[in-house]
Amino acid sequence: MFKSIPGDAFLQWRRKMIITGGRKVDFDWLLYIAAGVSWAKLQSIILNPETFISLDISTAELEFIWESHLKDQTPLQYLISKCPWRDIELEVSSEALIPRQETELLIDVALKKITNVDCGRWADLGTGSGAIAVSLAKSLSDWNGHATDISNEALELAKRNLKSIAPNANVRFSMGDWWEPLKRWRGSFDLVLSNPPYIPSDLIEKLEPVVKNHEPILALDGGKDGMNASRKIILGALNGLAKGGWLILEHHFDQSEKITSFMKNIGMEEVSFEKDLSGIKRYAICRRK
Ligand code: GLN
């Protein structure tokens, strides 16, 4: 339902909200995602405060969400159950990690590797909200897709996201640890992606409260050196991938060297890396012989 309010009253209210605490960029993000106030709309009302602005939800509802966020640092995405990512808007919940900006380019890196495969089989290991799986399903509509997760709640969330964003896609969801639920298709994957938990356990305590107190630790904690899951996934790719199939993994900002060496050491070919949107070496790439 649209609520139309005078621009000057809206701007005054926005100022009042911002000084109650929190970050201005987060408040404006909330205005945009929850109430449909885009940056352009905001600029136009700042320039023309005598006009009216329409909001998709009431200021009272927005205040309630903002106060809940300030009270215990619950991520805004969880409070409004939404997160825009690449060109899609995903449902999110505390059962899965909020899709991150650093993961966005993983899809482009992957699609570039398979430009000459018309129809193949992909998998997203540890799908969480399904961000990667839904994006692949959208781009590779003739392929067979698989998404796995050890959390049934995360799988249910990913299924809902697929259903609302790419309802006709051919994606199978399986519960289990990394490659484990995909035994039946072992050796047939042309493309496997994963954003596994990769933060070293000792660093979890140092994360922001908005992350460490609300997001699933299972999706963040990668063990002592942060690479427990990554090693399992790479080892599984040795016979999980089809011959010539690609594995592309996201990792922590300082793991590129170690992950790519591990890939080489176990006999993977065409090992390389790519950087994320911030210029950090973020994705490790390899191919089965
Ligand atoms: N990139 C995320 C963060 O730094 C971590 C995601 C992960 O462990 N896969 O918060």
Residue-wise pLDDT for 176-210, tens only, equals 999 999 999 999 999 999 999 999 999 999 999 99
**Quick one: what percent of the chain has pLDDT higher than 90?**
97
Are 275 and 102 a contacting pair, CB within 8 Å? no
CB of residue 220 inside a 6 A radius of ligand 1? yes
Ligand 1 atom closest to the Cα of residue 97 is: 6
Full DSSP string of 203-260: HHTTS-HHHHTTS-GGGTB--TTS-HHHHHHHHHHHHHEEEEEEEEEE--TT-HHHHH
Integer Cα distance of 161 and 132 in angstroms: 11
Closest by CA to 218, choosing from 145, 151, 283, 161, is: 151
Looking at residue 118, its pLDDT comes to: 81
CA distances 159 to 1, 25, 95, 131, 207, Å, are: 28, 31, 13, 11, 29
pTM, full prediction: 0.95
Ligand 1 atom closest to the Cα of residue 252 is: 1
Q: Once rounded to an integer, what is the mean pLDDT over residues 78-88?
A: 97
- Determine the topology of domain 94-287 in CATH: Rossmann fold (3.40.50)
Ligand 1 atom closest to the Cα of residue 220 is: 8
Q: Once rounded to an integer, what is the mean pLDDT over residues 243-259?
A: 98
Integer Cα distance of 155 and 224 in angstroms: 26
Give the three-class secondary structure for 75: coil
Residue partners of 172: CB distance under 8 A and separation at least 6: 144, 145, 146, 147
pLDDT tens track for 140-151: 999 999 999 999
At 88, phi and psi to the nearest 5?
-125, 165
Tell how far the Cα of 198 is from the centroid of ligand 1, in angstroms: 7
pLDDT tens track for 223-241: 999 999 999 999 999 999 9
Looking at residue 1, its pLDDT comes to: 59
Residue 116: pLDDT band with limits 50, 70, 90 = confident
Residue identifier of the C-alpha nearest atom 9 of ligand 1: 197
Closest by CA to 106, choosing from 275, 286, 280, is: 275
Confidence check: pLDDT of 117 > 90 = no
Residue partners of 57: CB distance under 8 A and separation at least 6: 1, 3, 34, 35
Ligand 1 atom closest to the Cα of residue 222 is: 8
CB of residue 106 inside a 6 A radius of ligand 1? no
The best mutation among 92, 102, 103, 193 to test binding of ligand 1, ranked by most ligand atoms within 8 Å of the C-beta, falls on 102
Tell how far the Cα of 46 is from the centroid of ligand 1, in angstroms: 36
Average pLDDT, the chain: 96
Ligand 1 atom closest to the Cα of residue 211 is: 10
Are 242 and 188 a contacting pair, CB within 8 Å? yes
CB of residue 18 inside a 6 A radius of ligand 1? no
Amino acid at 254: D
Closest by CA to 129, choosing from 97, 85, 169, 166, is: 97
Residue identifier of the C-alpha nearest atom 5 of ligand 1: 220
Q: Once rounded to an integer, what is the mean pLDDT over residues 155-173?
A: 97
